[in-house]
Amino acid sequence: MRLGLIADTHGKVRAEVHEVFRKVDLILHAGDLGGADVLEELELLAPVTAVYGNVDGGIMKRRLPQVARLEVDDLRFVVTHGDQLGSREPEALKEAFPDADVIVFGHTHRPLIRNLPDFSVVINPGAAGPGRFDLKPSVAILETEPGIPPRARIVELA
């Protein structure tokens, strides 16, 4: 399965996201969507599992969970914005979600892929919305197959 990972859109879906996510089977959004219109636009590309982030308003908080759990190709996924944990280091996220094989988070706007010793992976796709903190906008692609460790890569957006 091919998954598109995205976070911190803050109300903006860049045109490049449509191209990068053109052939994904599922999109995971790790919070700070910026509004229901972002969710609706992404749902035109593929089914979306999303969580709310710290700047999402009441409508999104009523519509979305703070943490989403799902299974894909026998891998246990956790999607969270991560701000509620205080520390967003990969090891702290794994400690908070010890049974997860894949943890997708946002909030820091910094892309990261960390493979942990137990063969789990923690991924922050970076921020896909308006540019902030002199960081390039980005998303991630994650590919899964039963019995094979997931393969992830960061994709910078123009």
| Phi-psi label, residue 74: left if phi above 0, alpha if psi -120 to 50, beta otherwise | left
Could you tell me which of 144, 150, 137, 123 has the C-alpha nearest to residue 30?
A: 123
- The whole model's pTM is what? 0.96
Residues β-bridged to residue 143: 2, 151
pLDDT surpassing 80 at residue 131: no
pLDDT digits (tens, 9 = 90+) for 52-96: 999 998 899 999 999 999 999 999 999 999 988 876 788 889 999
- At residue 87, the pLDDT reads 61
pLDDT surpassing 70 at residue 148: yes
- At residue 101, the pLDDT reads 96
16 three-class SS: helix
**Average per-residue pLDDT for the chain:** 94
- At residue 32, the pLDDT reads 96
Mean local confidence (pLDDT), 2-19 = 97
What are the structure tokens assigned to 24, written together? 């994904």
Query: What's the rounded Cα separation, in Å, for the pair 83 and 105?
Result: 9
Q: How confident is the model at residue 136 (pLDDT cuts 50, 70, 90)?
A: very high
At position 61, the amino acid (one-letter code) is: K
* Domains identified in the chain and CATH numbers: 2-156 (3.60.21.10)
